[in-house]
Amino acid sequence: MTGALSRNRVLQFIVGTAGVAILWQIASLFFPDYLFPSIPQIVTRFVEIATTASTQVDVLTTAARILAGLVGAFLCGVVLALVLNKSRAVEAYLTPVLVLLQGIPALSWVVIAVIWFHGTEFRIFFIMLVTTLPAFTFQILDAVRSMSKDLFEMTIAFRPTRWTLFRVLVLPTVVPGILTAWKVNIGNASRVVVVAELVGATGGVGYELLRQQQLFDMAGALAWTLQLVAFVLVFQGLVSAIEAWALRWRPKSERAI
Amino acid sequence: MPAAPDPVVITFEDVTKRFERPDGSGVFTAVDRLSFRVTRGEIVAVLGKTGCGKSTIFNLIAGLAEPTSGRIAVDGQDPFGAFAALRGKIGIVFQGDRLMPWRTALDNVLLGFEILGVERGRARKIAQDWLARLGLAGHENDYPHALSGGMRQRVSIARALSVDPTLILCDEPFSALDEMTARRLRAEFLRLVRDSAKTALFVTHSIDEALEVGDRIMVLQRPARIAFEAKVGGEIAPDRKAMLRSEIMKVLAGDDQSDGGVD
């Protein structure tokens, strides 16, 4: 049943994407290349970027920036979530601050980071951190709070050490929430990193997009964008594979498709 | 020659437990100056209406809650304070099976061994043996969602008994099961406990279950205090059973407070 649903989704994705590509190809017959380049042009540029070492460095640089920002935000989010879970008073004061941070646009953080900091990499890391931290914190906090009181009491009755309690109960309880948080935040982070790279970076997908805009090269802009999309899809696929393995105990009807 | 073990396994001396009301409107007393003892090898059935404090007593003995005043000892140790000293000495069968859904039946039984640090190979052998004794051979690798309610409760019994605890606490362990399954499982459970000469405290709200299970019955009234106590021990003659049943009914009927209780 789940397999059939999954196959259906893949089929729907392929049909939808192919439909857009056909419409785009038709439009390319009536408009100049700088507005609607043909699909073969875009594909050629995509393959060029993917197979040329110097351009792959840009893609990998962006990927590394995304992962560094996410790892930083995740670790800070874990600490913050544990503090919030421990103290209702801290939660009462800190939650509005995190909500406020969530409301600030990524572009505003770019401006703030440029004014505050010198190093390009640190600026981008800072932007990635502050934009993904609130979501990570709230999602990890939810995961911690979803722990069953019944299972906690049952485990405590065996009198485990703190480490054993963490290993046998806390970790398996929070894993589904954490994996979901990663899947959601990777998409957000890929959008933010491009904005961050547009300003001040001397490499990466965002920087290359800015160059394509200056050259009026739509095929290049789309090819670079697709590189980032491909990275996000691969990473999300990896997280989904980990999720499928870690949550293999769930009944098939409850598993993510 | 090693000293003979203390014949008393559970000691309650003048124990009081109060809770703050959730709405902040003061405190209520769940257990009021309760004193009793349970000796080694004895099975005591604790009976009372909903809200009489049975589960509070249960949590106090299990060390999941701290008494407001009074003294509690399990095998000579304070169950709340001496957390590590009682590791592996108390086995609990809860009302629900409380199985970890991400662990197989075997891994659920292995939980206690993991916490006690027992060598994996030896623990596996014991856990498999317990599952087989409870009729679950062949289901070791099944996840809880694939087992019936009765099977899941068997796994939880195996989890509690396999670590060879000194004391077994049971909190209405068969109340969520249908009558036939509950009856069969209760008989199996009693056989296992009696065969191993374990001490057990069995909380229930069923008079018949208490009469069937207990060597001794304690009937509680709100806030938890002993209103009636009787030695039962083994097979009871039908007329004595009827008399005990009638007396317990009278005690429970007298405990007609409708609020302020706590389980």
Cβ contacts of residue A224 below 8 Å, gap of 6+?
A: A49, A205, A208, A209, A212
Which residues of chain A lie closer than 8 angstroms to B109, CB-CB? none
Residue A15 to residue B156: CA distance in whole angstroms: 50
Closest residue in B to A156 (Cα) is B64
To the nearest whole Å, the CA of A251 is away from the closest chain B CA by 7
Q: What is the pLDDT of residues B50-96, one digit of tens each?
A: 777 887 888 899 888 899 999 999 999 999 988 888 888 999 998 88
Q: Is residue B167 part of a domain?
A: no
Residues A68 and A123: beta-carbon distance below 8 Å: no
Domain ranges of chain A: 53-254
To the nearest whole Å, the CA of B154 is away from the closest chain A CA by 15
Structure tokens at B87: 């590791």
Which residues of chain B lie closer than 8 angstroms to A150, CB-CB? 94, 96, 98
Q: Is B226 exposed, middle or buried (0-12, 13-18, 19+ CB in 10 A)?
A: middle
> What is the number of other CB atoms lying within 10 angstroms of the CB of residue A18?
10
Examine the predicted complex and report whether its ipTM is higher than 0.90: no
CB burial readout B36-71, b (16+ within 10 A) else e: bebebebbbbbbbbebbbbbbbbbbbbbbbebeebe
Which residues of chain A lie closer than 8 angstroms to B112, CB-CB? 158
Cross-chain Cβ contact A157/B103 below 8 Å: no
Closest residue in B to A176 (Cα) is B102
Q: Is A221 exposed, middle or buried (0-12, 13-18, 19+ CB in 10 A)?
A: buried
Best of B89, B98, B164, B170 to mutate (most A CBs within 10 Å, chain A): B98
Residue A212 to residue A227: CA distance in whole angstroms: 14
To the nearest whole Å, the CA of B178 is away from the closest chain A CA by 22
Note the pLDDT of residue A45. 92
Which residues of chain A lie closer than 8 angstroms to B143, CB-CB? 249
Q: Is residue B251 part of a domain?
A: yes
CB burial readout A128-161, b (16+ within 10 A) else e: bbbbbbbbbbbbbbebbeeeeeebbbbbbbbbbe
Closest residue in B to A172 (Cα) is B102
Question: What are B's interface residues with A at a Cβ cutoff of 8 A?
Answer: 59, 62-64, 83-84, 86-88, 90, 92, 94, 96, 98, 100-104, 111-112, 114-116, 143, 145-146, 163
Residues B186 and B209: beta-carbon distance below 8 Å: yes
Instruction: Using the predicted structure, report yes or no on whether residue B260 has a pLDDT greater than 60.
Output: no
Q: Can you point out the beta strands (E) in chain A?
A: none
Size of chain A in residues: 257
Note the pLDDT of residue B36. 92
Q: Identify which of B89, B84, B94, B57 has the alpha carbon closest to the alpha carbon of residue B74.
A: B89
Mean pLDDT for chain A? 89
Residue B222 to residue B10: CA distance in whole angstroms: 21
Structure tokens at A87: 């103290």
Cross-chain Cβ contact B163/A158 below 8 Å: yes
Instruction: Using the predicted structure, report yes or no on whether residue B1 has a pLDDT greater than 70.
Output: no
Residue A156 to residue A174: CA distance in whole angstroms: 17
Note the pLDDT of residue B229. 86
Q: Is residue B243 part of a domain?
A: yes
Q: How confident is the model at residue B112 (pLDDT cuts 50, 70, 90)?
A: very high
The DSSP 8-state label assigned to residue A119 in this structure reads -
Question: What are A's interface residues with B at a Cβ cutoff of 8 A?
Answer: 150-151, 153-160, 164, 168-169, 172, 247, 249-251
Q: What is the pLDDT of residues A112-148, one digit of tens each?
A: 998 998 888 899 999 999 999 999 999 999 999 988 9
Query: Domain A53-254 class?
Result: mainly alpha
Residues B239 and B69: beta-carbon distance below 8 Å: no
Side-chain half-sphere CA neighbours of B229 within 13 A: 7
Which residues of chain B lie closer than 8 angstroms to A162, CB-CB? none
Nearest to B98 among A151, A159, A251 (CB): A151
Residues B113 and B162: beta-carbon distance below 8 Å: yes
Helix H segments across chain B? 54-62, 105-116, 120-133, 149-161, 179-195, 207-213, 238-254
Give me the CATH number covering residue B28.
3.40.50.300
Cross-chain Cβ contact A155/B111 below 8 Å: yes
Residues B220 and B226: beta-carbon distance below 8 Å: yes
Q: Which residue has the higher pLDDT, B188 or B13?
A: B13
Domain of residue B205, residue span: 1-76+189-263
Collapsing DSSP to helix, strand or coil, B220 comes out as strand
Closest residue in A to B110 (Cα) is A168
Note the pLDDT of residue B250. 86
Q: How many domains, in total, are found in chain B?
A: 1
To the nearest whole Å, the CA of B85 is away from the closest chain A CA by 9
Q: What is the pLDDT of residues A235-247, one digit of tens each?
A: 988 998 998 888 8
To the nearest whole Å, the CA of B35 is away from the closest chain A CA by 23
Cα B64 from chain centroid? 13
To the nearest whole Å, the CA of A48 is away from the closest chain B CA by 46
